[in-house]
A and B are shown apart, each in its own frame.
Chain A
Amino acid sequence: MSDENIRKSSGINREWPVLIGKSWIYLFLLGEIVVFSYYGTGFFSAKNFQNVMVNSITIMLLAAGEIFVIISGGIDLSVGFVMGFASVMSAKMMVTFYTLGWNQNLAILMGILIALLIGFLPGLLNGFLVTKMRVPPFIATFGMYGIAYGFSEIISYNVPITKLPPGVGAFGNGYLLYYLPGKLLNWFSQPVGLARAEIRELVPVIPNIFVISLLIIFIFGFILSRTRFGQHTYAIGGNIDAARRAGINVDRHLMKVYMVSSLFASLGGIMYVLRFVNGRADAGSARMLDSVVAVVIGGASLYGGTGSMVGSIIGTFIIAILETGMVNLGIPTFNKYIYVGTILIVAVLIDQLFPELVRRGD
């Protein structure tokens, strides 16, 4: 009874900080949008927000995989170069099949499928090293970072792979909906037979690759929060011994977790190819840090056990809007690295100093 009273009375002083602590990312995101809209030119526009969407795809995909690993108590440093590997791999396949005279859609599809299939391998190996060989996650994936990078440079011969089938860009830079105000509405492709003036007026709505990415992320968000697989991921990160004693096959589960991460990294590489119409080894090299930061901003603890997909998406947008907004204001983007590094440290500091403020788990 007295125990409860103490908790209640201290709750009065604690309530506000806790509320802010729990929702600071939303406030921060809102603040960013307000500041950039106020100071920037044309920042607060449908066109620009679609820009943000496209820019956020890579970080969002990498973060969606990373969140599983981080909740399980590990970390995957290889995602950036696994992404590069997948981009090189799928571009190479597309080019190869296309030059063999295949139908271009088939060539593109094969490129994507093969990259996805091979994309499991780094994760499988990471998981094997972490679980069976007891290699610490950041070392196993650090080694994989070197290995994946080496392979992609060898496949691409140290130059971006180009000359992809033309359909790649058409799809990758296409939109879900094209809308000509007051006149017509067309799904998936630009309507044909428009006058030049009309083309200028055409409003593209929601980038294709953003929709696809978001759809896949939604499915995995569901898996994380609603299914047994997700529950076990949290349990392993919370107390690996308890998970073992509860009969969870921890090794097999972690193996799958690292495979999810490398699958998402590969998706990132494929989306890169669709958007930029080339494949390159360093496609995601600078994005690994961004994805870890997005996950951590989103409330995940690097000690494992907490975090959420929604949080990671918000974290992604915080970074993507920062990036887009800085370009809009003419601030050189290198500053972004400084902010991102700083945010990472500050987020972990908050986690350390005020643990009760950041438990935004589920």
Chain B
Amino acid sequence: MNNTKTSPGLLVKFGKNWVVFFLIVLCVLFSFIGKGFFANNTINNILLSSSPALLLAVGETFVIVSGGIDLSIGFVRGMVAVISAIVMRDLYAMGYSAFLSILAGIVIGLLAGLLPGLLSGMLIAKFKVPPFIATLGMYGISNGIAYGLCSGFPIINVPQEAGRLGNGHIHYYFSGLGFSLFNRPPGMLDSQLRNLVRIFPNSILISGLIITVFGYILARTRFGQHTYAIGGNIDAARRAGINVDWHLVKIYVISSFFAALSGVLSVLIFSNGSHTQFSASLELFAVAAVVIGGASLSGGKGSIRGSFLGVLILSVLEVGFLMAGIFAFYRYIAVGSILVLAVIIEQTFPELIYD
């Protein structure tokens, strides 16, 4: 009697956490194949390489939970990167201080990034355009704008301080000089740079904070609750008096905001604003991460925690491939396959997925 009860329970428990197990398996696998997988540097690398995907995935989580999809975020990110880099470069060239130029670049970039979401949200909510079409249209439009502004070349000559901000770390450790916060230990020579231990990138701190806030919003607040309700049954949500249209507009603005944030951060990290046709593959990664994280494409299910795990899996895969000397483009095959697989698992064993 007892036996029959525990065994399906175990299976469900395993199923619900398959992402975690998969992540562990991947880590173990790569620590065998590649050397130094567990080094501090590698972990920083994983965190760093996951930061753009993570931001995009958080925005996408809101959209997917509400029952939609946003295919425009890769190009919105590129567009914002170009816009904010241009603002920084031009203001700086006009003689404004680096601080002011960077600040203006960030603010204008973020504001410009809200527009695509506002537009697709309106189209979806007010005019009942299917989400993947509205955002596919926005994909074309933001691609065109970005491409027009940069002609396919990265925008350079942004103030140097931008890079320092984006590439800074919270802690530095240098043997002999000890720990320091935010800045390199004073009195260090450039030749000693190689031995400097950097701990926890700034960009991760910023992303982490914002993501925590939005994770809280999705999980704990009425806004989050309504998002789940709309994704679960939009008519019921409407009848319950939720202003569904307005809520959906907000959701797509959130998604766009995260794309913009990731664009701005990319300028701070790489000291340039770059946009290529392959910016579009970023939404593949974001959608894949969200779905791996247990979200249902029919809406109503998903969590920031799950998406976070999804992004980690993809980043571990990327860094692991790199360290194992596997040609980088296998990543696309892996991601495409995992995306499809995750949906199949969700379709076939709905009871196994997070609820």
A interface residue numbers (CB < 8 A to B): 75, 129, 133-136, 138-140, 142-151, 153-154, 157-158, 282, 285-286, 289, 292-293, 302, 332, 334-342, 344-345, 348-349, 352-353
Contacts and interface: CB of A to CB of B under 8 A. Distances in A.
Contact of B344 (A133, A147, A335): A133
B69 A154 contact: no
A338 B141 contact: yes
A143 to B, nearest CB: 4
B136 A292 contact: yes
B114 interface: no
A337 B144 contact: yes
B332 A147 contact: yes
B347 A134 contact: yes
State the 9 A-B residue pairs at the shortest beta-carbon distance, nearest first.
A341-B140, A146-B336, A337-B144, A150-B332, A150-B333, A338-B144, A153-B329, A147-B336, A143-B340
B347 A133 contact: yes
A158 B329 contact: yes
Given A289-B140, A302-B130, A332 B337 contact: no
Nearest to B130: A302
A349 B144 contact: no
Interface of B: 69, 123, 127-130, 132-134, 136-141, 143-145, 147-148, 151, 277-278, 280-281, 284, 287-288, 291, 297, 327, 329-337, 339-340, 343-344, 347-348
A340 B330 CA distance: 31
B284 A147 contact: no
14 contacts: A135-B343, A140-B340, A149-B329, A150-B332, A150-B333, A154-B327, A332-B151, A334-B148, A334-B151, A345-B123, A345-B133, A348-B134, A348-B137, A353-B127
Nearest to A152: B329
A146 B136 contact: no
B119 to A, nearest CB: 9
B89 to A, nearest CB: 19
Contacts of B327: 153-154, 157
Q: Which of B69, B331, B336 has the most CB of A within 10 A?
A: B336
Given A285-B278, A341-B139, 11 more contacts: A129-B344, A135-B347, A142-B284, A150-B330, A337-B141, A337-B147, A338-B141, A338-B144, A341-B144, A342-B140, A348-B137
B137 A345 contact: yes
Q: Is the interface of A mostly helix, strand, loop or mixed?
A: helix
B340 A335 contact: no
Nearest to A285: B277
A293 B145 CA distance: 18
Contact of A349 (B127, B288, B336, B344): B127
A340 B281 contact: no
A213 to B, nearest CB: 24
A146 B144 contact: no
A337 B143 contact: yes
Contacts of B141: 337-338, 341-342
A334 B329 contact: no
Given A136-B297, A285-B277, A352 B127 contact: yes
A139 B148 contact: no
A277 B130 CA distance: 39
A154 to B, nearest CB: 5
Contact of B133 (A135, A302, A332, A342): A302
A143 B280 CA distance: 13
Nearest to A155: B329
A315 B123 CA distance: 23
B27 to A, nearest CB: 22
B129 A352 contact: yes
Contacts of B148: 332, 334-335, 338
A327 to B, nearest CB: 14
A336 B343 contact: no
Nearest to A149: B332
Contacts of B340: 129, 133, 135, 139-140, 143-144
B28 to A, nearest CB: 24
Nearest to B146: A334
A282 B281 CA distance: 12
A352 B126 CA distance: 11
B297 to A, nearest CB: 6
A120 B174 CA distance: 58
A359 B144 CA distance: 30
Contacts of B348: 133
Contacts of B339: 139, 142-143, 146
B344 to A, nearest CB: 5
B153 to A, nearest CB: 12
Contacts of A75: 132
Given A136-B297, A338-B144, A348 B347 contact: no
B144 A335 contact: yes
Nearest to A341: B140
B132 A138 contact: yes
B336 A289 contact: no
Q: Which of A142, A157, A282 has the most CB of B within 10 A?
A: A142
Given A154-B330, A341-B139, A144 B69 contact: no
Given A334-B147, A334-B148, A345 B134 contact: yes
Contacts of A143: 288, 336-337, 339-340
Contacts of A285: 277-278, 280
A361 B133 CA distance: 20
Contact of B343 (A136, A332, A334, A342): A136
A348 to B, nearest CB: 5
Contacts of A349: 123, 127, 129
A342 B140 CA distance: 8
Contacts of A135: 340, 343-344, 347
Contact of B137 (A138, A282, A342): A342
A352 B144 contact: no
Given A150-B331, A345-B129, A145 B140 contact: no
B133 A344 contact: yes
Contacts of B335: 146
A146 B281 CA distance: 8
Contacts of A153: 327, 329, 332
A285 B143 CA distance: 13
Nearest to B134: A345
Given A134-B347, A150-B330, A338 B134 contact: no
A142 B60 CA distance: 15
B86 to A, nearest CB: 15
A108 B180 CA distance: 64
